[in-house]
Chains A and B, each alone.
Chain A
Amino acid sequence: MKEHETAVELRDIIKNFPGVRALDGVSLTLKKGEVHGLIGENGAGKSTLIKTLTGVHKPDQGKILCEGQEVVFSGPLDAKKKGIACVYQELNIVAELNATDNMFMGNMKKKGNSFFLDYGYMNRKTKEVMKSMNQEIDLTKICGNMGMGQLQMIEIGKSILQEAKVLILDEPTSSLGEQETKELFKTVNLLKEQGMAILFVSHKLEEIFELCDVVTVMRDGKHVVTMDTDKMTQDDLITYMVGRSLSNLYPKVEVPKGDVAMEVKHLSRKGVYNDVTFSVRKGEVLGFAGLVGAGRTEVFRGIFAADPVDSGEVYINGKQCRIKSPGDAIKNKIAFLTEDRKGQGLVLDEPISKNIAMVNMLNLQKGLFVDDRKLKEQAENTVKKLKIKTESIEKKSGDLSGGNQQKVVIGKWINTDAEIFVFDEPTRGIDVGAKIEVYNIINDLVKEGKAVVMISSELPEILGMCDRVVVMRSGRITGEIDRKSEDFNQESIMRAAWEV
Chain B
Amino acid sequence: MKTNILKNKKISNIVGPLIALIVLSLLLTIITDQFFKANNLLNILRQASINALVSFGMLFVLLTGGIDLSVGATIACSGCMMGIMIKAGIDNTFLLLLVGLLCGAVIGLVNGLLFTKLDLPHPFVSTLGTQLVIRGFCLWLTGSASMSGFSEGVMFLGYASVGGFPVCFLLVIIVAIVASVFLNKTAFGRYIYSIGGNREAARLSGIKVKPLLNLTYILSGVLAALAGIVMIGRVSLAYPNAGDGYEMNAIAACVIGGASFNGGRGSVGGTLVGALIIAVLNNGLNLLGAKTDIQNMILGLVVILAVFVDVIRGKQEEKARRLAQARQ
Contact = CB atoms under 8 A, between A and B. Distances in A.
Interface string B1-19: 0100110010000000000
Given A349-B265, A399-B324, A306 B187 contact: no
A412 to B, nearest CB: 7
Contacts of B327: 17-20
Given A349-B265, A399-B325, A370 B2 contact: no
Contacts of A392: 2, 5
Interface residues of B, number: 32
B30 interface: no
Nearest to B1: A392
A362 B6 contact: no
B324 A347 contact: no
A336 B206 CA distance: 10
Contacts of B202: 347, 358
B201 interface: yes
B326 A348 contact: no
Given A369-B186, A392-B2, A326 B200 contact: no
B264 A349 contact: yes
A310 to B, nearest CB: 20
Contacts of B194: 347, 350, 354, 358
A312 interface: no
A20 B327 CA distance: 5
B297 interface: no
Contacts of A354: 190, 194
A304 B197 contact: no
Interface string A339-358: 00001111111110010001
Chain A CB within 10 Å, residue with most, of B187, B203, B265, B324 = B187
Interface string A197-222: 00000000000000000000000000
Interface string A343-382: 1111111110010001101101100111000001000000
A365 B188 CA distance: 11
Given A17-B326, A43-B328, A393-B2, A347 B201 contact: yes
Given A17-B326, A327-B208, A369-B185, A361 B190 contact: yes
A22 interface: yes
Contacts of A365: 186-187
B321 interface: yes
Given A22-B326, A346-B198, A394 B6 contact: yes
Nearest to B195: A347
A220 to B, nearest CB: 11
A330 interface: yes
B185 to A, nearest CB: 4
A442 interface: no
Given A19-B327, A370-B187, A399-B324, A394 B204 contact: no
Contacts of B190: 354, 361, 370
Nearest to A390: B328
A93 B126 CA distance: 30
B162 interface: no
B50 to A, nearest CB: 29
B113 interface: no
Nearest to A19: B327
Interface in A376-405: 376, 389, 392-394, 396, 398-399, 401
Contact of A358 (B185, B200, B205): B205
A325 interface: yes
A306 B199 CA distance: 12
A338 interface: yes
B38 interface: no
A48 interface: yes
Contacts of A376: 2
A347 B204 contact: no
A368 B182 CA distance: 9
A345 B205 CA distance: 8
A103 interface: no
19 contacts: A19-B323, A48-B326, A326-B204, A344-B200, A346-B201, A347-B197, A347-B202, A354-B194, A358-B207, A361-B190, A369-B186, A370-B185, A376-B2, A389-B328, A393-B2, A394-B5, A399-B321, A399-B324, A412-B205
Interface of B: 2, 5-6, 9, 181, 185-187, 190-191, 193-194, 197-198, 200-208, 264-265, 321, 323-328
Given A19-B327, A347-B264, 19 more contacts: A17-B326, A17-B327, A19-B323, A20-B326, A43-B328, A304-B204, A306-B203, A336-B204, A343-B201, A344-B200, A347-B201, A368-B185, A369-B181, A370-B185, A370-B187, A370-B190, A392-B5, A396-B321, A399-B321
